[in-house]
Structure formats: C-alpha cells, structure tokens
C-alpha cells in the first residue's frame, strides 16, 4: 500500500485493443482523466498497440500475451496472468474491465452476459438458440461471470446504468452496497452542438444534400446494435425519398446488410461508411441519431450524439434510455419495427427535431468527464480506506 502522501497506484485491466470499440475509448478517457488528477496508472492488457493509443505518456502498460489456442484458453490464461501480476505489483486498487474472478473492483461496461443471451433468444430460432446453449465459449463466459460476482475478493462493481445495476442484483444477487452507478462521462467541449457554419461545412465535406434529413447510426457489431431493424424501419416509414440513413461502423458481415438495403428498395438512400477514426463531423452534420440496439449498457455513441444536440432514438435495452424523455428522443422496443419507423418519421419535422436536440443536450450536460472522474476518485478513496474482507 502506498504512503498516504503518495499518489494512489491504480491498475486498469482490459484484454485487448479494438480501434472501433467503445470500451477502449472509455479506457482512454478514464486513463487521461485520472492521470491528470495525479493517479499513478498502469494498464494491464493482453495486447495494446504501440504508438498513438490516446493514452497519456505517464500511463505504464503491462502486456500479458500468454500462449493460448482458442478464445476460451486465451481468456483463462489471461485471467491467471493478471492475478499473478497483481500479486507481484501490489497496487492500491485494481479495476478490471474483464470478467476475472478474484479482483476487487469490476466495471461492468459490457453489461451482463446472461441477460444478453436472454435477449438474443427473442431474435433467433431454435437452432441458433440451441447453439448458444451448448457453446463452450458462452458457457465459459457465464461461468467466469458467475464466479466473479460470487467471489469474496469482489468489493465493488461499477455499473454505467441503472439497468445494469438492477440486472446484476436480480440475476446474481450482488448486494446493493457493492453496486455503484457511475455513468460514462463525455467531453462536453468537444462534443457540442455545432454552429450553423460548422454544420454546413461538415455536411459539405461528407457530401450530404441539404434538402434531406440525415439519420445517423454509429456502432460496430451490426447484429447487436440493430442495423437490420434500422433498415427495415427506414423502409417501412417510406423515408427513402426524403432522408438518408448513414451507418458508421465495422461489421465483417457488412455485405449482408447492404444486400438487405437493396432488397428493401432503399439502397440509394443508405450509406455504409465503415469505421471512422473521428466521428465528430458526422454528429455535426446529422439531423437525428438512431441506435435500435438489442443490448447496450451505456452507449457512448448515443451520449456523444446527444451532447452534439441530436435527438436520439434508442431502445429499452440501452442504458442511455434512462436519460431520454419524450422531449429529447424516443425509446422503443428493439423488436418493434413499427414503433421504430414511427419514431424516425416523427423526426422528419425539422423544427421538432431541433427542439428535441436542445433538450437532448440539456439532459446530457451533467455527465461531464470531470464529474465521472470525481465519482471514480471518491469510490477509490472509499475502497482504499476500508480494509479488504478477503
């Protein structure tokens, strides 16, 4: 344990880097914010890219890319290596972003895997559901999740939405005093409503016509994030003559969704951009944001869009829905294409969409990076003052 006058030594655990991943962007943000407050940070990862990672230079990195064959072995061997590294290093606190039993603090940024599988069952037929049931990978994740939440070393769980907190309490019986809600913080200076000229310039650079309403989707993993539902709703509402649907993100099955747009007769009104390093110009140029996700604990993309003054459409399976009201967006069931189509049609009204965007920005303003950092530091101080029970 560090002396009282020394900066706290905190380790963040994240398996690997995905340039398009929301979890990695969160790690960048929290690492930068904590480092700026004098926390001595170490990132423990299986692999992390060299060069420009978005992390402050003061952040130390420990890579633990142990030998493995297959994902299940990979995750188990990484968990063992993390516990060994933690025992050697003697950090003041370890915050894991992976399901590793035996660590004191877990951030449930990926939500609850058991809940995600339950939602998937609503979408898939018998054979795919049977495949999920017998999948060794899913069974390994569920076992790690169950053991982690039951482990006596677990002292606190950070949930990024009330939805996730309630799921963990209901499914795994974790006591309420171990569950803390800290919502993702947003850089409210960078992500802000654009000035008219900024919006015009962004729209011109992206080649979007001024006379059409642009619905923006940002997210990777199209099945879970609901791209098919967005395409079906766009077609169902008959928006192809008056609007564009722009899909930003990566999916290895992208061609399947392009074929769906073609089959629905809306291909000329849908643009797939692939992943983008910087999505700010897309937020600035769009008129509304749509993320009909099946399950998303707290979507950074929805938060960023709201901060940029866009009315948002999302689902009951998204933690950000807790921040939306009828004045700032629409919340629908992920499997209700008719409700999603009606929500998109509603936002064709430019004045209404702008007014809702103002309310969306107002709703998001309390959730700054500064507030998030304060809440994490308060949690760390509380845990470091209290002796560990195991």
- Give buried/exposed letters for 182-212 (b at 16+ CB in 10 A, else e): bbbbbebeebbbbeeeebeebbeebebeeeb
Q: What is the pTM of this model?
A: 0.90
Q: DSSP letters of 308-346?
A: TT--EEEETTBGGGGG--TTTEEEE-TT-HHHHHHHHHH
**pLDDT value at residue 271:** 98
Residue ranges, comma separated, of all CATH 3.40.50.2000 domains in the chain are 9-185+369-385, 196-364
CATH no., domain 196-364: 3.40.50.2000
**pLDDT value at residue 127:** 63
Q: Which fold has domain 9-185+369-385?
A: Rossmann fold (3.40.50)
Q: Please measure the distance between the N-terminal and C-terminal CA atoms of the chain and give it in whole angstroms.
A: 15
Handedness of CA 66, 68, 71, 73 (dihedral sign): negative
Consecutive sets of 10 residues in the chain, 390 residues long: mean pLDDT of each?
Answer: 67 76 74 86 82 74 77 83 91 93 94 92 74 79 95 96 97 97 95 96 94 96 96 97 96 96 98 94 98 95 97 97 97 97 96 97 96 93 73
**pLDDT value at residue 34:** 86
**pLDDT value at residue 390:** 44
Specify whether the CB–CB gap between 315 and 330 falls below 8 A. Answer: no
The β-bridge relationship of strands 93-96 and 9-13 is parallel
Backbone angles phi, psi at 171, to 5 degrees: -85, -40
* pLDDT tens-digit map of 104-162: 999 999 999 999 999 988 887 766 767 677 687 889 999 999 999 999 999 999 999 99
Q: Which has the closest alpha carbon to 37: 54, 17, 52, 59?
A: 59
**pLDDT value at residue 135:** 80
How far apart CA 150 and CA 159 sit, in angstroms, is 16
């Amino acid at each position: 344990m560090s002396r009282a006058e020394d900066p706290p030594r905190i380790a963040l655990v994240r398996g690997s880097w995905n340039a398009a991943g929301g979890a990695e962007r969160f790690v960048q943000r929290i690492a930068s914010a904590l480092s700026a407050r004098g926390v001595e940070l170490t990132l423990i990862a299986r692999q992390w890219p060299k060069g420009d990672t978005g992390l402050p230079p003061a952040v130390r990195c420990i890579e633990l890319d142990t030998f493995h064959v297959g994902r299940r072995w990979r995750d188990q061997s990484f968990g063992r290596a993390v516990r060994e590294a933690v025992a050697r290093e003697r950090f003041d606190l370890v915050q894991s972003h992976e399901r590793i039993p035996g660590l004191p603090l877990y951030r449930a940024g990926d939500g609850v895997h058991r809940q995600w599988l339950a939602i998937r069952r609503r979408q898939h037929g018998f054979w795919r559901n049977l495949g999920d049931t017998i999948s060794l990978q899913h069974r390994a994740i569920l076992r790690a999740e169950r053991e982690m939440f039951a482990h006596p070393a677990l002292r606190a769980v950070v949930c990024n939405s009330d939805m996730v907190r309630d799921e963990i309490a209901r499914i795994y019986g974790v006591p309420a005093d171990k569950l803390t809600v800290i919502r993702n913080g947003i850089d409210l200076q960078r992500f802000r409503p654009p000035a008219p000229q900024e919006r015009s310039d962004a729209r011109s650079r992206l080649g979007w016509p001024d006379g059409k309403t642009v619905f923006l989707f940002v997210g990777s993993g199209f099945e879970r994030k609901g791209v098919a539902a967005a395409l079906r709703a766009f077609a169902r509402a008959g928006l192809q003559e008056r609007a564009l649907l722009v899909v930003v993100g990566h999916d290895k099955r992208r061609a399947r969704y392009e074929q769906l747009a073609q089959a629905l007769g809306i291909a000329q009104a849908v643009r797939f951009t692939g992943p983008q390093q910087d999505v700010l110009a897309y937020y600035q140029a769009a008129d509304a944001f749509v993320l009909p996700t099946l399950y998303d604990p707290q979507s950074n993309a929805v938060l960023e869009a709201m901060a940029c003054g866009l009315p948002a459409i999302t689902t009951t399976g998204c933690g950000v829905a807790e921040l939306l009201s009828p004045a700032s967006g629409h919340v629908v069931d992920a499997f209700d294409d008719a409700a999603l189509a009606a929500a998109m049609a509603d936002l064709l009204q430019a004045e209404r969409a702008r007014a809702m965007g103002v309310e969306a920005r107002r709703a998001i303003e309390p959730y700054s990076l500064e507030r998030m950092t304060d809440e994490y530091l308060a949690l760390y101080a509380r845990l470091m003052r209290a002796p560990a029970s195991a």
